[in-house]
Structure 1
Amino acid sequence: MSIQNLRERLGALKKDARNLLENKGSATWTKDEQTKFDELMDEAERVENQIEAAQRLMDEDAEDSFRDVKNKDKDKGKKVDPATAAFENYLRKMSNRLTPQEVEAIRNTMSTTTGSEGGYTVQPIVASTLIEALKDYGAMRRLAGRIVTTNGADLSYPSTDGTSEEGEIVAQNASASDADVSFGTVPLNTYKFSSKVVTVPIELLQDSNIDVVALVNGRLRERIGRIQNRLFTVGTGTSQPFGLTVASAVGKTGATGQTLTVTYDDLVDLQDSIDPAYQVDGLKWQFAQTVRRLVRKLKDTAGRPIWTPSYDEGLTASRPDSLLGNPVEINNHMPAPAANAKSISFGDHSKYIVRDAMEVTIFRFEDSAYLKKGQVGFLAWSRAGGNLLDTNGTKTYQHSAT
């Protein structure tokens, strides 16, 4: 079955489940209806896993046959940005093969701060594209707020909590009271992330049909994106960013015995742990697929599923599944259910701020260690950090200790 047929099958399954949920309304579900809904969602999860496997296979096939990428034909007639063209020359050509004009173009568009060591600071047009693409590899960047600084110096970001403050009634001719706003600081330091060395066969670099910029950037993006998403999620704050689950306050703790489970009442309590001041559009759930398998089958007191599946609306638009009325974001770096684990996050995740220092540096290695294998190496450094600036906006569910 083709991946398109699988997607159509997934959409049909979710549509049937959603219709079953909506048609039943507020009426209590029968045992057969509960079973039918669970079977639809189980089948949908199997199809989703099959789609992911098929996509991985397609990606690997594409990587093994880069000649299928006909950039010259695809981009014929398009004007190439000079900075991007210079960056491509830097990636594609050996240092001793660059013409004086190409060397000058590279130096004009890429900082030569580390040029004597074989590295250049990537020009903003390429660096910003790479960093924006990191959102594809992590829920945290998709949900978080973001600031950009010109350097990576340590930064203490101001924070304040006004949820408990209120005004007063003042009698005629009486003076208003003082109520100074209290400010705190949250560290928002950057850390240096390495892509590890990406090795590319010389033949691919020499083939003009290969999109070498997409090839190299894709590998850098995947590697840096994954480690950043993991640390933005579970980072300890010691020599690494403060992760969301570490910085967040606990909104609900499971009862004794719930080291691997969560109940309907727990999720309701977690929702209500968010102050009404934050109860606006934008509140979302965030958890891993292992938790999704648990909550998909939870029912309310009337026996109705609390999970509302979505389905594709047309060819391009889609909406996420929802839980108790709020959208769900899957982040497989969220902890799995375990004793004391914070496996579920709920709230306004834009209160978590990712800080990028916009100086992505890339090095090219063409010494004997690589050339004797017919390869050229590329290594990228990126500086970024993250922290939760407002602990009232996002809360977590923590499993019981025993």
Structure 2
Amino acid sequence: MSKLAQLREKRNAAAKKAHDLNNKYPADQRMPAAEAAQLDSFLAEVEAIDAEIAREQRIAQVAGENPEAQHDAALQAAYRGGVRDADESAALRAMLSGGLSALSAEQRSAMNARVNHDIRAAMSTTTGSEGGYTVATEFNKTLIQAMKAAFSVRSVASGIQTSTGAQMLFPTADSTQEEGEIVGQSAGAGSGDTGFGQASMDVYKYSSKSIALPFELIQDSMFNIEAYIQSLLQLRLGRIQNRHHTVGTGTAQPRGIVTASGAGKVGATGQTGTVTYDDLVDLEHSVDPYYRATAKWMMHDDSLKVLRKLKDGNGRPIFVPGYEQGNPGGAPDRLMGREIIINQHMPVMAANAKSILFGDFSKYLIRDVMDLTLFRMTDSKYTEKGQVGFLAFQRSGANMVDVGGAIKYYQNSAT
């Protein structure tokens, strides 16, 4: 068992003790001093273990920030032995390794026989060995799932896939203040026209930047070229999209969830790097109860570090660490009883920073157009170096499609 796995098991045990003890008493009841001290010790133990985990993860992150290390990590993950590919995966591997001409007779026959299904639907070209091939459907689904797991906004937002990149306009209306009336016998009903607006869902073309592989690796039967390329695409496309999904300006890029949200609470003077328990209560109640039913918190990990030290009016911590085992399936970290989403593209606490989000994140919509497209390049730029190039494009957009204030932010004070 790795050191990181051991630390996580140790954290799970301490976090479950804290969780069980915290749930022993109702939220409006003060916990006895002895048990409150015991809870503090459990939380201190979790915090110390988290610091160790963070150091281990930081080591891996530092390696990941180096482009060469990213390639090394992807290469290590891509090597495999004795695993047979599914038909679609085998066809994809053949195309990636040698182009369309590398497909076997059976694979070519399957393409001709199943025009709009499987391989034919997944791979087509009109530009020869330097042209583009649409990635197999199953490969694309796996990639999107990987980005959802690794990048925060996709994991909680809603998503749609469209067959074209044409502009989409969503009608909007704020009906939160609308209500009916009582009318007398034979009296006329009053008028109450609703004001409608539009939210645009434009798409943008994202590039993975080119990936160059030496011939030797492509020819190596022990090298899983699909896994390698998928890993690099996950890192490159996922990171830039999550950044835009979080803080995108809406001009020549998607409008991010922070940009689209409304103000829920602004910190008092002096709170440039802090937040109080009362601020969080005000932020929570700035969101209409309709949206609070499924609401979550979203913040940078550095902001969570600040919140872990806060306690409510009964002296109980507002942060309760989650654990991975039991319950069944474990329990997520919770703040004031609600799930926390860690997003490393969220602004950290600083003057005027919109550092904490609260609300129903399903009202943020991500739109992907058709399938991700992968190009295999064998022109002189690569051939002279003994390489084959790969480049992926994905058309995607995102925007808030709600005007009722489903998500609000906490903003640190200016001074």
TM-score, normalising length from structure 1?
0.88
CA-CA distance at 1:100 after TM superposition: 7.4
Deviates more, 1:354-363 or 1:106-115: 106-115
CA-CA distance at 1:87 after TM superposition: 2.0
Of 227, 248, 251, 1:238 maps to: 251
What amino acid does structure 1 have at the position aligned with 2:300? A
1:154 corresponds in structure 2 to 167
Of 36, 44, 47, 1:39 maps to: 44
- Would you say 1:69 and 2:80 are equivalent positions? yes
Deviates more, 1:287-296 or 1:42-51: 42-51
CA-CA distance at 1:93 after TM superposition: 1.6
- Would you say 1:15 and 2:21 are equivalent positions? no
1:24 to 1:55, Cα distance in 2 relative to 1, 3 A: farther
- Would you say 1:261 and 2:274 are equivalent positions? yes
Distance in 2 separating the partners of 1:325 and 1:291: 17
1:347-381 CA distances to partner (integer Å, 9 max, x unpaired)? 00000000111142211122333234332211000
* 1:220-231 alignment runs, 5 A limit: 220-231=233-244
2:226 corresponds in structure 1 to 213
* 1:307-346 alignment runs, 5 A limit: 307-314=319-326, 317-346=329-358
* 1:1-150 alignment runs, 5 A limit: 2-23=3-24, 26-27=29-30, 30=33, 32=37, 36-50=41-55, 52-53=57-58, 63=74, 65=76, 69-70=80-81, 73-75=82-84, 80-82=86-88, 84-93=89-98, 105=111, 109-112=122-125, 117-150=130-163
* 1:272-351 alignment runs, 5 A limit: 272-280=285-293, 282-314=294-326, 317-351=329-363
What amino acid does structure 1 have at the position aligned with 2:250? G
Matched position secondary structure for 1:229: helix
Matched position secondary structure for 2:146: helix
CA-CA distance at 1:309 after TM superposition: 1.3
CA-CA distance at 1:35 after TM superposition: 5.1
Distance in 2 separating the partners of 1:114 and 1:265: 62
1:152-206 CA distances to partner (integer Å, 9 max, x unpaired)? 1222222121111111112223233232332211111001100011222322222
Distance in 2 separating the partners of 1:136 and 1:276: 29
Deviates more, 1:56-65 or 1:22-31: 56-65
CA-CA distance at 1:64 after TM superposition: 5.1
Distance in 1 separating the partners of 2:25 and 2:289: 30
1:167 corresponds in structure 2 to 180
1:29 to 1:365, Cα distance in 2 relative to 1, 3 A: farther
Deviates more, 1:303-312 or 1:204-213: 204-213
| Structure 2: gaps spanning 5 or more residues | 112-118
1:116-157 CA distances to partner (integer Å, 9 max, x unpaired)? 752123343333332233212211101111121111122222
1:149 to 1:306, Cα distance in 2 relative to 1, 3 A: same
Aligned pairs, number? 395
1:374 to 1:102, Cα distance in 2 relative to 1, 3 A: farther
Matched position secondary structure for 1:9: helix
Matched position secondary structure for 1:319: coil
CA-CA distance at 1:97 after TM superposition: 5.4
Distance in 1 separating the partners of 2:43 and 2:77: 42
CA-CA distance at 1:74 after TM superposition: 3.4
1:123 to 1:68, Cα distance in 2 relative to 1, 3 A: closer
Distance in 2 separating the partners of 1:107 and 1:157: 34
1:251 to 1:335, Cα distance in 2 relative to 1, 3 A: same
CA-CA distance at 1:343 after TM superposition: 0.6
Contact (CA 8 Å) 1:254, 1:397: kept in 2 or not?
A: yes
Distance in 1 separating the partners of 2:258 and 2:106: 51
Contact (CA 8 Å) 2:135, 2:374: kept in 1 or not?
A: yes
Matched position secondary structure for 1:290: helix
What amino acid does structure 2 have at the position aligned with 1:156? L
RMSD: 2.9
Distance in 1 separating the partners of 2:353 and 2:290: 27
2:204 corresponds in structure 1 to 191
CA-CA distance at 1:218 after TM superposition: 1.7
Distance in 2 separating the partners of 1:244 and 1:63: 30
1:291 to 1:369, Cα distance in 2 relative to 1, 3 A: same
Distance in 1 separating the partners of 2:5 and 2:238: 27
2:114 corresponds in structure 1 to none
Distance in 2 separating the partners of 1:240 and 1:92: 34
| Structure 1: gaps spanning 5 or more residues | none
CA-CA distance at 1:334 after TM superposition: 0.5
% same residue: 44
1:299-319 CA distances to partner (integer Å, 9 max, x unpaired)? 111221011111122498222
TM-score, normalising length from structure 2?
0.86
Distance in 2 separating the partners of 1:385 and 1:115: 30
Deviates more, 1:203-212 or 1:345-354: 203-212
Contact (CA 8 Å) 2:324, 2:331: kept in 1 or not?
A: yes
CA-CA distance at 1:107 after TM superposition: 6.1
Distance in 1 separating the partners of 2:87 and 2:178: 53
